[in-house]
Structure 1
Amino acid sequence: MPHEHHVFHNPPSATPAEVHAALDRGDLSGVLNAMVGTALYGDGDWKELQELHLQLLTHDDHQVSALAATCLGHIARVYRQLDEGRVVGTLRRVRSIPHLSGTADDALGDIEVFLHPRRARWRGRLWRAMRPWTWI
Structure 2
Amino acid sequence: MSNSPGRGDRCRMIDRIDRGDTVVATNSLLELTYFETDVAWLEEFLSRQARENSDGNVRQLAVTCIGHSARINRTVSSDSVYRSLRGFIMDPQLCERALNALSDIDVFTGRHWASAQWIMLQVAAMTVRLRAGDTRFWMS
TM-score, with normalisation over the residues of structure 1?
A: 0.70
In the alignment, is residue 37 of structure 1 matched against residue 31 of structure 2? yes
Aligned to 1:134: none
Deviations 1:73-120 (A, max 9, x none): 111011111134110111011111011001001000000001117x58
Letter in 2 for 1:25: R
Deviations 1:17-63 (A, max 9, x none): 2332113332221110010111124x421122112101101122111
Where has structure 1 moved over 6 Å in runs of 4 or more? Answer: none
TM-score, with normalisation over the residues of structure 2?
A: 0.68
Of 100, 109, 115 in structure 1, the residue corresponding to residue 103 of structure 2 is 109
Aligned to 2:56: 62
Is the CA contact 2:17–2:28 (under 8 Å) kept in the aligned structure 1? no
Query: What SS is found at the alignment partner of 2:90?
Result: coil
Hey, what's the Cα distance between the residues in 2 that align with 1:85 and 1:108? Answer: 12
**Matched pairs, number:** 108
Aligned to 2:93: 99
Hey, what's the Cα distance between the residues in 2 that align with 1:24 and 1:75? Answer: 21
Aligned to 1:47: 40
Between 96-105 and 44-53, report the one with greater CA deviation: 44-53
Q: What fraction of aligned residue pairs are identical, expressed as a percent?
A: 29
Hey, what's the Cα distance between the residues in 1 that align with 2:75 and 2:66? Answer: 10
Query: What SS is found at the alignment partner of 1:99?
Result: coil
- Considering only CA atoms, is the larger Rg found in Structure 1 or Structure 2? 1
The offset of 1:15, in angstroms, is 4.0
Which runs of 5 or more residues in structure 1 are unaligned? 1-11, 124-136
Letter in 2 for 1:35: L
Is the CA contact 1:76–1:114 (under 8 Å) kept in the aligned structure 2? yes
